[in-house]
A and B are shown apart, each in its own frame.
Chain A
Amino acid sequence: DAGVIQSPRHEVTEMGQEVTLRCKPISGHNSLFWYRQTMMRGLELLIYFNNNVPIDDSGMPEDRFSAKMPNASFSTLKIQPSEPRDSAVYFCASLGAAGNQPQHFGDGTRLSIL
């Protein structure tokens, strides 16, 4: 079975550039999460979608970050303009509708902003 698929796996870009990260959740899952992982702060929830609707975006660092989920099989996380402090690994996770299930994670996008 295909798991959560993220692209690109690695992204290196210069500060000020726009960065777009992509996620395809597991088919049939109706919840999608974006996380950021750094050594200093660990795994942080950025935003949570349920049935394609953003439910909680309180973890989004600032207005430079935005996320969309145009349909049940695709989501994007965009950073514009990017800054060196945005360098981290960004994970997407999805979850089915039944209660008390684990979130399933993709293998992440390692983002480096120079």
Chain B
Amino acid sequence: GESVGLHLPTLSVQEGDNSIINCAYSNSASDYFIWYKQESGKGPQFIIDIRSNMDKRQGQRVTVLLNKTVKHLSLQIAATQPGDSAVYFCAETAVYALNFGKGTSLLVTP
């Protein structure tokens, strides 16, 4: 399943499956994009970032894809684990201010 933009806030996946969280951004001048993970009672935690001169970046079990043509950002989590359950935010910036999406809640079921 997918979460599109800011309008489908919940994504449920089975443990071991891959997760894809999508985000649409609005500012074509944005040149830096970040995915954050927020667990209950904690602040947003940096996961991965990407600059506008790239279209893909990989980390440990996570991949971020950037499509500047349609202003779309996605986060792929491989082999999703229960510890991945959290709210995920995309954020974009052109200068200093981060513009956050409203987040997608990822629920990993056993």
Contact = CB atoms under 8 A, between A and B. Distances in A.
Interface in A80-114: 91, 93, 95, 100, 102-108
Given A91-B44, A100-B32, A42 B100 contact: yes
A42 B98 contact: no
A107 B36 CA distance: 13
A21 to B, nearest CB: 13
Q: Main SS of chain B's interface residues?
A: loop
A34 interface: no
Interface residues of A, number: 21
Interface string A54-65: 011000000000
A4 B43 contact: yes
Interface in B11-51: 31-32, 34, 36, 41-46, 49, 51
B43 A102 contact: no
Contact of A105 (B45, B51, B102): B45
B88 interface: no
